[in-house]
Chains A and B, each alone.
Chain A
């Protein structure tokens, strides 16, 4: 009762989908009365995860669905992102060295790192043919 909120979005693996998704997340944040900073962070982690999936998860030209669910239970925010692309465990990726000077910093590789910094917990499961990324944050 009362404190459980859930929302589900389904998008196609097209990069253009990110714009309307961002608008919907902003609307949701307003509806759930979340702070603008939290809305930005929610948008950011979802954009990073979903753009990775769109760019790298599929090696065919078919349409694929990416399912995003967001739930808020009291102060626990859970974001779950599911795709049927090639197996990809973001937790197994090398963390960037953020102490390097500009000349030596590689461009890229920051997206997953940002997710791990913003969220409190990041879990990955491969179940049947799906990647399931679960992100948790206490707000």
Chain B
């Protein structure tokens, strides 16, 4: 897994590449925790390069959403591959996040 960060307006965009599995989800969680601790309030996860997620990865997104909501932050997801979208759907996670087709859409829905 690899994460690239980019500040765009009020958002911190995280481009996630690779697998968010039992082994790698802790790295993503650490990264997200550091961003919130550093004062970031609004996050966009660009999931274009994310090709795998398991329950441990879903858990990280849920924890991030809880933290964002607690500080009135926005947490958007975008550019998700269909197989990953399906995992979000069957776990009920599609209802917990705003999921946009493109990063541009996510940025405009401020």
Chain A residues with CB under 8 Å of chain B are 15-16, 18-19, 22, 36-37, 40-41, 43-44, 47-48, 51, 96, 98-103, 105, 107-108, 110-111, 113-114, 117-118
Q: Let me know if B91 and A114 touch, CB within 8 A.
A: yes
- Cross-chain contact A107 with B63 (CB below 8 angstroms): yes
* A contact residues around B23 at 8 Å (CB): 15-16, 18-19
CA distance A20 to B19 in the complex (A): 13
Interface residues of B (CB under 8 A from A): 19, 21-23, 51-56, 58-59, 62-63, 65-66, 69, 82-83, 86-87, 90-92, 95-96
For this complex, 25 residue pairs linking A to B, each with C-beta atoms less than 8 Å apart, are A18-B23, A19-B23, A22-B19, A36-B83, A40-B51, A40-B52, A41-B83, A43-B52, A44-B54, A44-B87, A47-B21, A47-B22, A48-B54, A48-B55, A51-B54, A96-B92, A99-B92, A99-B95, A110-B55, A110-B58, A110-B59, A114-B54, A114-B55, A117-B90, A117-B91
| In the bound complex, CA of A131 to CA of B69 (Å) | 41
The listed residue (B53, B54, B62, B95) touching A107 by CB distance below 8 A is: B62
- Tally inter-chain residue pairs, CB-CB below 8 A: 67
Contact B55 A105 (CB under 8 A): no
